[in-house]
């Protein structure tokens, strides 16, 4: 089965403390909401301590046109996406020898926070020496589910072409979508959660001779994947596209939906692969927020230890949409997890949808 061999992330340059963002939100929203003090409790209650943005906080106090924000998205996405690929293919924690760019058969580029045609992967290929016949597979609009979906599509590609090496690159610059004129509660909650993140993962097929370049004793193989769409749920999560850009849609019912909807899907997925939740040793979850992680634990019957690494990423980086789960995955790759251990990878996104992957660590 295809194996996840390496991962790396790039942390944007501006570290912002949650206290700074809370003050920023108070200045912005206090004239709109009479209960601003109650609403601002979401900032400390989310237990995020720091986030990272591609611009200094003062940049977001000003209004910027959609054109200006998108131009910035393209420039920053190319710069940091290129760096993430370089780090992933040269990561000595996971690789004995670097992987040459010419050996990459396909690039899956994942994003939902900017628009670019030619896509970001094409722009990066003009700066790094990939083979001119490398397949480009840009995927837009999956939001927080995109990182897990990218891994699933890489898995399917490597099943079809067992000799393939595929990279999944996620670039999410959520801060550039911020709308200072949007005084909705969705925007206020989004301001407490979202951040910028860039990450890359390498997935290899069965015929890649992993022993020649793999550094670790055991790696997670992808055994099976499943995508699920909830009907009549288009208003749960996503963007409203307006003249000024992308306006966040973020339902307060997401944690409740997770508790009621996700567990039967997970049970069916595992049963189809002759497994149960009791056999899952590691839970690689997209940390959409503290309430989301709490909902995961309640729905699955997990202890807090199962979401420790996801919470660690949330605490130090916030919700970086599709890139977040790749940050979590990299932490699992760093661990010496015994051969035969099982992992469940999950993320939720617009649609409303879920993406599930069943992992098993192999030598």
What residues act catalytically?
A: 144
The token pair at 160 is: 């079809």
Phi, psi angle pair for 354, to nearest 5°: -130, 150
Distance, in Å, from the CA atom of 151 to the CA atom of 346, rounded to the nearest integer, reads 11
Give the DSSP letter string of 106-128: EEEEEESS---SS-HHHHHHTTS
Q: Name the pairing type of β-strands 196-204 and 165-173.
A: antiparallel
Distance, in Å, from the CA atom of 202 to the CA atom of 132, rounded to the nearest integer, reads 19
Distance, in Å, from the CA atom of 333 to the CA atom of 97, rounded to the nearest integer, reads 17
Distance, in Å, from the CA atom of 189 to the CA atom of 246, rounded to the nearest integer, reads 15
By three-state DSSP, how is residue 100 classified?
coil
Bridge partners for 360 per DSSP: 221, 342
CB contact burial 221-252 (16+ within 10 A = b; e otherwise) = bbbbbbebebeebeebbbbeeeeebbbbbbbe
250 neighbors 42 (Cβ within 8 angstroms): no
The DSSP element (H or E) to which 39 belongs, if any, is helix 36-39
Distance, in Å, from the CA atom of 285 to the CA atom of 327, rounded to the nearest integer, reads 10
190 neighbors 143 (Cβ within 8 angstroms): no
The token pair at 188 is: 């206020």
């Amino acid at each position: 089965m295809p194996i996840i061999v390496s991962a790396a992330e790039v942390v944007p340059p501006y570290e912002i403390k949650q206290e700074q963002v809370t003050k920023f939100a108070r200045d912005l929203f206090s004239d709109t909401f009479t209960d601003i003090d109650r609403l601002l409790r979401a900032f400390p209650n989310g237990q995020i301590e720091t986030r990272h943005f591609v611009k200094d906080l003062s940049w977001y106090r000003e209004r910027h046109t959609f054109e200006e924000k998108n131009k910035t998205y393209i420039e920053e996405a190319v710069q940091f996406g290129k760096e993430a690929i370089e780090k992933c293919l040269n990561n000595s924690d996971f690789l004995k020898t670097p992987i040459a760019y010419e050996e990459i058969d396909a690039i899956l580029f994942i994003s939902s926070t900017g628009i670019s045609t030619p896509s970001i992967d094409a722009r990066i290929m003009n700066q790094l020496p990939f083979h001119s016949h490398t397949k480009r597979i840009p995927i837009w609009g999956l939001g927080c589910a995109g990182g897990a979906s990218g891994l699933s599509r890489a898995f399917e590609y490597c099943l079809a072409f067992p000799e393939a090496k595929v990279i999944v690159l996620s670039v999410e610059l959520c801060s550039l979508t911020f709308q200072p004129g949007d005084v909705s509660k969705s925007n206020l909650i989004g301001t407490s959660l979202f951040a910028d993140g860039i990450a890359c993962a390498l997935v290899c097929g069965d015929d890649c001779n992993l022993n020649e370049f793999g550094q670790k004793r055991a790696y997670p193989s992808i055994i099976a994947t499943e995508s699920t769409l909830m009907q009549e749920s288009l208003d749960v999560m996503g963007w409203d596209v307006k003249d000024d850009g992308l306006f966040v849609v973020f339902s307060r019912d997401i944690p409740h939906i997770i508790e009621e909807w996700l567990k039967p899907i997970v049970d069916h997925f595992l049963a189809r692969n002759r497994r149960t939740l009791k056999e899952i040793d590691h839970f690689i979850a997209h940390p959409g927020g503290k309430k989301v992680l709490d909902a995961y634990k309640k729905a699955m019957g997990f202890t807090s230890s199962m979401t420790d690494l996801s919470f660690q990423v949330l605490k130090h980086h916030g919700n970086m949409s599709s890139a977040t789960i790749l940050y979590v995955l990299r932490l699992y790759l760093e661990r010496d997890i015994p051969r035969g251990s099982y992992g469940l990878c999950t993320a939720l996104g617009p649609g409303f949808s879920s993406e599930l992957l069943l992992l098993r660590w192999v030598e």
